[in-house]
Amino acid sequence: MYEELKPPSRLLMGPGPSNVHPRVLKAMATPLVGHLDPYFLEVLERTSDLLRMVFDTKNEFTIAISGTGSAGMEACLCSITEPGDEIIVGVKGTFGERMVDIVRRLGGKPIIVEQEPGKIIEPDQIKRALDESNAKAVAIVHAETSTGVLQPLDGIGDMVRKHGALFIVDTVTSLGGAPVNVDERKIDICYSGTQKCLNCPPGLSPLTISERAWTIIEERKTPITSWYLDVTMLKRYWGKERWYHHTAPVSMIYALYEALRIIEEEGLESRFEKHKVTGEAVRESMKALGLDLFAQEGYETPMLTSVKIPDGIDDRTFRKTLLTKHNLEIAGGLDVLKGKIWRIGHMGYGTQPAFVLPTLTAIEKTLRDLGRDIEPGTAASAALQVLEKL
């Protein structure tokens, strides 16, 4: 006999998944209907409307792909990349590197514009790459999850459009936690994930595509390489035709719909301010504990704080202690940053002081237990001084 599921109730304060609002869990437990049922089709319509709100766009094609944010990344890149196409990719961490990998697998020619992890891509770097290439698109990560850096986007869309290229932006970590402004920033293709600032379980990838990008997609000389991620077929399901493509994950769409309703009720500006202040509070707390921040100053993501692991502290021991003694999950670094940084999430539902303060207190206590000389209450005190702004 196998035991029934009894997962621990963790405090998920890493880079995702984030803690899910009880209303979202309740929505997932509501009765199933068919994926072509009239009621479910109404839910799809409403979900698209709400996604337009968080993306800040009027794009008709605004949907949620059945798959994680990586599926959204691949769907967007394979929709426009054909063999030989030059695609400029901004690389400043793990997820920019994934874009490069996908472009290569599609037979495209990635033109890499690179910065060391923790730094932003400078607009002049993009301009030089555009001037020296025949790029079909520029792809960049807004909030780089692996480093905690928020990439400035203003002005890049104008630059890209002047060269006749498309602007592709990864907002997996930023959507719902920082302004994306798809239309204002002239973003042609934008994708995200559900498990971060949207506070929904992982499994869907919201994305939006402009009419300008659709013109390029429809003029392709070769078929889109992925059948499952072919946006031209997904358009027929999410659009008026309601053509069968695959069985949509009904319960996950319910969850996303409820998560978006919560954001709409709170208001985007209020939500952005909460992330901004909470991010500042966590950073001040880390500095009070004697930890050095990793991300370039002034460009830290408001929903994720990256800090350098201090000398003499073992990464695995530290995070295992947080999990076993405090029921708290934060994340370590990826790839070249493994063992060098910690990543602390404070996303959406997780921006509440009831989540943030126990997290900071547990980090402080564990550092003390591992030999750091810290006055008890230091972390919470520093954070509270900032959280008073809310």
pLDDT in tens, 22-47: 999 999 999 999 999 999 999 999 99
Q: Report the pLDDT averaged over residues 328-357.
A: 97
The type of residue at 336 is: V
Q: Is the peptide bond before 17 cis (omega within 30 degrees of 0)?
A: yes
- What b/e readout covers 275-302, taking b as 16+ CB neighbours within 10 angstroms? bbbbbbbbbbbbebbebebbbbeebbbb
Q: Please answer whether residues 266 and 259 qualify as being in contact, where contact means their C-beta atoms are separated by less than 8 angstroms.
A: no
Q: What percent of the chain has pLDDT over 90?
A: 99
Question: 305 falls in which pLDDT band (50, 70, 90)?
Answer: very high
pLDDT at 390 over 90: no
Q: Which residues pair with 90 in a beta bridge?
A: 113
> Rounded to the nearest 5°, which phi and psi values hold at 166?
-100, 150
pLDDT at 163: 97
Q: Please answer whether residues 229 and 20 qualify as being in contact, where contact means their C-beta atoms are separated by less than 8 angstroms.
A: no
Q: Please answer whether residues 93 and 117 qualify as being in contact, where contact means their C-beta atoms are separated by less than 8 angstroms.
A: yes
pLDDT at 86: 98
Is 0.85 topped by the overall pTM?
A: yes
CA neighbor of 321 nearest in space, from 284, 364, 290, 379: 364
CA atoms within 13 A on the CB side of 153: 28
Angle between the 378-387 and 353-369 helix axes, to the nearest 10 degrees? 150
pLDDT in tens, 68-96: 999 999 999 999 999 999 999 999 999 99
pLDDT at 107: 98
pLDDT at 345 over 90: yes
pLDDT in tens, 274-295: 999 999 999 999 999 999 999 9
pLDDT at 310: 96
The strand pair at 11-12 and 328-329 is best described as: parallel
Output the CA torsion sign for 323, 326, 329, 333: negative
Tell me, letter by letter, the H, E, C secondary structure of the chain.
CCCCCCCCCCEECCCCCCCCCHHHHHHHCCCCCCCCCHHHHHHHHHHHHHHHHHHCCCCCEEEEEECCHHHHHHHHHHHHCCCCCEEEEEECCHHHHHHHHHHHHCCCEEEEEECCCCCCCCHHHHHHHHHCCCCCEEEEECEECCCCEECCCCCHHHHHHHCCCEEEEECCCCECCECCCCCCCCCCEEECCCCCCCCCCCCEEEEEECHHHHHHHHCCCCCCCCCCCCHHHHHHHHCCCCCCCCCCCHHHHHHHHHHHHHHHHHCHHHHHHHHHHHHHHHHHHHHHCCCCECCCCCCECCCEEEEECCCCCCHHHHHHHHHHHHCEECEECCHHHCCCEEEEECCHHHHCHHHHHHHHHHHHHHHHHCCCCCCCCHHHHHHHHHHCCC
pLDDT in tens, 179-221: 999 999 999 999 999 999 999 999 999 999 999 999 999 999 9
Q: Please answer whether residues 322 and 328 qualify as being in contact, where contact means their C-beta atoms are separated by less than 8 angstroms.
A: yes
Which structural domains are found in the chain, ordered by start?
Answer: 20-265 (3.40.640.10), 268-387 (3.90.1150.10)
pLDDT in tens, 129-138: 999 999 999 9
The type of residue at 374 is: I
Q: What percent of the chain has pLDDT over 70?
A: 100
CA distance 348 to 263: 9
